[in-house]
Chains A and B, each alone.
Chain A
């Protein structure tokens, strides 16, 4: 293409704008997604003077198109001529920050935050900050909501007069009359606190924080809990008691379970933010209450934090606190009426054993693990089994194996295939810990049964499991216990089972080594090349390609090659294709 460089007349703006206006939404969307290409074709000046005004004027479109536009504009700085001109992008993004759809607005704010960094301090005050002010005093709630996300990015880089204005705007929005705006302000409170000077943090933010934390709407109050983490981190320790703790205590006992849930959910962060002393005096009892909350949602959220909370307790009193305050609550949760609470607990409870050590684990935790292993809900049992390695490190798995086994056998036959899948994935670990004999005796049949599961994902996982077992127990073990059974399936009337033989061979050949592969597996594969089902035949071709590198060249030339050549003339096109592929990969042509 001649003279592409600078020859903008090739691409009259009208044509490009037509594309952005196309009647078909999908085409419009495609064009918007390539807006940078259009801008590139127009050059920086025409992008500034023609394209951006067009975009600013025509912002009434499907939200999906607007979303794409908002995203594009965040990366447009170079296309309008660099940081010097970046403020040209503000008008269209300002309009986008006022639309109704949350996703679009959020994206516009994200882009604005991004390009704010590219503004010089002067441009920030001349162009950016006035935009924030306009949004903050907009009529409809959407623009005010968007403004909340912009204060913190411009605050650090403006003069102190402007800073005072920004603080004032933020204060106003925290007391806005629509809850949507208060929620937005509350959710940005933590972020804004981080850029504020400590004095203003104490004089301004704390009163806003207290007010939001006692808002009439629980959806606002719960967001203040999040801010609490940042604020507590920023304040010096000696101020926490007076400035933060009254509010936090109140939140932990809020009448709305949503707020309590939030406290439970943020508990570890809160614990780190307030430090060890307050944790000991205040958070331990609060945590006990959350573990005993009347709502299952809250108990489950708290149960999830048990391990982290205990880990982060100050070392000098950790064991004592856990044994006297936390463990009694945990014991109760083991027999909770709600399965989600129990399963949340089951996912972390094993972690306590490393904290408490061997003796405490055997005396206090083991009964709980065993109780959960026998729980009626499979998810609880699964969570326990999935975390066995933690306990193993502390007391060894033999202790558990007797109680463990019935649970594993039951889960291995669970009606939900995802549960079966999870168990399969733990087999290699268990096998390694239990040893060959125990495994052969108790688990081998299970592993073989999975090979004929009616769900493909299970058969596939079972195949992979066999490979890992062979890697652990060695080729000889494989030859005696696994290979005969696998090869036996080659005569199964069900072609899916016959194919499983091939998949197993693919997985096992390398681990079993040349001898077993050539002498035992290869004949079976070759025999299957005459199978009446085409899928089996082309999988033979794929298997030969896979195991070829393990075989010696003699076997390749005399046994594999003729079979592949025959398959390459098969009537089925897929068989032909894979046979030819195998021939070329194994360089047998």
Chain B
């Protein structure tokens, strides 16, 4: 159904002048087919300047149109007669948009000015769907649901290619199945382990024998995920979104091939497309990695306790997993090629790391695995890992039950036929460059979520972007997704929440001498009785001295950092300054209140450690 602008329509039966009534009915039917089968149908004469102006208008709008030049077909006169009957308009150009008769040249321009034309264009029916979303994750679903709310005909294609270990899951994408949701629940399980220890100090008494049962936890979490998968499908159905559990691949600019589990292929056409295929974990490309290692795609549904675990990589995924595994009582080692939490504030990252060390996690820094061998099969088995120093010829060997790779993620953009329709990707990382309205280089194809070049890889960002995109495409909205000051939290055992710039980035952007950094260590009240360390939790804000001490970076390492950071992020949206922080009354006793009483600047060099009380 695709057509380059200005495609010529052809009437299949020749010689239709002076037709008998039957033939005239036949012509009427064929004209109706043209009107109904094309989003924009222009009946024109090749020499008519008004017709030319109309064609130029549609070209300038980037809209495909179909033309029938009356002067170039044999039965042009009959066509004009029948058109008069259909539209009550004798002259050309005669324009139909989405089956609606717009009128001639003047009326079309008028409709353009009033916005009516755009509205009509949006009511596309030339394709099977107004919108086809490839990928049923947070972003894709949010976009699809919003488009459906706006009355559009929407399809979502979602297909989970099983991981090399064979894990697969239901609708909802990474966040729900192998990301935020299960990891936060396992984090909670680990926190509860800590709570059990604390509870004795708070007067609770029970047997010292406390064990953790991996299978019971995993089953409970998987049950919750199952209910979410189900509710996503239900919501799509309620909103009238067509959901197809098949792998989508472009074959033409407006046509997609959907291949289901059984290998059956179906083709669908759409006016607009949103690519929201997300990412999947990367592998090392060394001997034994795909055979024996697992990734975050597998961990949360692992049917057995992973045992002694080597986590490869210090991304937030790596550290979060290491954190909760250790919290559940497992022996955990993290092997790190270079820095922890690349892209995050490095002072904070190091503090996150040292807390993990306090929790018993071992770090093997400046090493990278070179081979993984299976010593023994089993659930879990035994793996031998050889790692090489990144700085010299030194190698070390370690024996683990499980090796979890968390070395990064790669975009699912290379096998979805983008090359066939000319959507450009960054060849290096597979990411899709888009403009500020999430549009790719192919105008009717958009992209959101983790596959975007240079945008935060976060569920709420994808959700927001998807929703706003649908509103712009179909709801006449102009609001764009704001990717600035996006807050996030790393759910390591001690949570790290942040919003805005890291100290390094702030120095790069604003220069060190223009910044004032306020910071303090603090001791959560709940930690006192629990007898936990009083110089571990840390709060830091970075202010621009020459912009009213505006807060450009917010960083918090402490319990409930996620809950605390959210409100401050809202305040940063409204132009938070140090003075406003000073003027705000704390809520006592909380951890959040620490930000209302920050007094010590880094430049002063004063001690921020907490004394006895």
A and B held together in a complex: no
